[in-house]
Amino acid sequence: MSAPEYKQYTCNLCGENSVVVDDFHREGGACQHCGANIRFRALMFALSHHLYGQPIALTNFTPDQNLKVMGLSDAPHYADRLASLFNYTNFFYHTKPFLDICNIEGMALDSYDVLISSDVYEHVPPPRHVAFVNTHHLLKPGGLMLLTVPYTMLSKTAEHFPHLNQFGVVRDQQGMLLVNRRRDQHIEVFDRLTWHGGEGSTLEMRVYAEADLIQIIADAGFKDIKIWHLDESEFGILQAQQGGSFVISAIKDGDRTPAAITPYDPYVENIYSEEAEVDHFLINRPVRITGERAENAILQWQNGKVTKAPSLWSKILRYLQRKLGK
């Protein structure tokens, strides 16, 4: 084993020089100055190209209050700067300003120049195309969707709960279980849930396959779909060997009507069956359980003993910590 190679780069968020080990994860490689990880740097790299046709640091972006930008739970590493530059709103699912991308009733349509959605659409309930169709509706014609989600190069998407309908999460001595009453009234219980941001935080609904994503984005009425898969070592964006989960950008095609919003999944061909073996480091599939533990979970759920949305409290806490400067 040779020593890891440290590469010097200029962080394109804070503009400072930093070093990164040439062995990373998209959530790793944090800038020593501002803490921006590879995913955040790759996002702002793509945004800079869209706005200025070249990579410049976020600190050197040109202020423009006419540019209407929406973030969905954007990280403060770039959200704070975007807010000072543009007509920018960072929306949240659990706190103000609220936005549920799966239900955009009351929102102004065709009005945003840029919508940034970083690691959100793997958490929206099925059917997964609704979030993309709504993104199209919120953007102006020619507007930019800047997206990240964890995804693989496998042939299909691993949709963890394809029959999700009325559901809740309960806790027993062994951990957390998801109880779901399907449309056909059958009740199912799942163990081995995957959470992002810690147990009980944000539930992973799926791990996309790139091909499925691209089809859904195209059908939602986007053009010029670009996958930002290259290494940009000048900015410490070392990601090529990651083999997926790259930043994707796409432009709203104003001449196209997006796919219809349906209660069912129009892309059911694109998902693995529950029985299919899926072997990939990004994928932990929940398992359906039956028997006493499942029965108890169903009782808990029916008695309303669902876990108090801990994500709400953790998000409020994080928000306050941010406001108070930790």
Binding site for Zn ion (CB under 5 A): 11, 13-14, 31, 33-34, 36
Question: How many Å apart are CA 105 and CA 142, to the nearest integer?
Answer: 22
Nearer to Zn ion, 16 or 253 (CB): 16
Q: Whole-number minimum distance, CB 33 to Zn ion, in Å?
A: 5
Widest CA span in the chain: 61
- Torsion, Cα of 38, 200, 268, 163 (10° steps): -170
Residue 35 contacts residue 78 (beta carbons within 8 Å): no
Structure tokens at 33: 């100055």
Cis peptide before 127 (omega within 30 of 0): yes
Q: Whole-number minimum distance, CB 202 to Zn ion, in Å?
A: 25
Nearer to Zn ion, 36 or 72 (CB): 36
Q: Whole-number minimum distance, CB 77 to Zn ion, in Å?
A: 8
Nearer to Zn ion, 33 or 186 (CB): 33
Q: Whole-number minimum distance, CB 43 to Zn ion, in Å?
A: 13
Q: Whole-number minimum distance, CB 21 to Zn ion, in Å?
A: 16
Residue 87 contacts residue 67 (beta carbons within 8 Å): yes
Nearer to Zn ion, 14 or 82 (CB): 14
CB-side neighbour CA atoms (13 Å) of 139: 31
Q: Whole-number minimum distance, CB 39 to Zn ion, in Å?
A: 13
Which phi and psi (to 5°) does residue 124 adopt? -75, 145
Nearer to Zn ion, 35 or 197 (CB): 35
Q: Whole-number minimum distance, CB 10 to Zn ion, in Å?
A: 9
Nearer to Zn ion, 58 or 179 (CB): 58
Nearer to Zn ion, 79 or 176 (CB): 79
Q: Name which of 177, 62, 72 is nearest 117 in CA terms.
A: 72
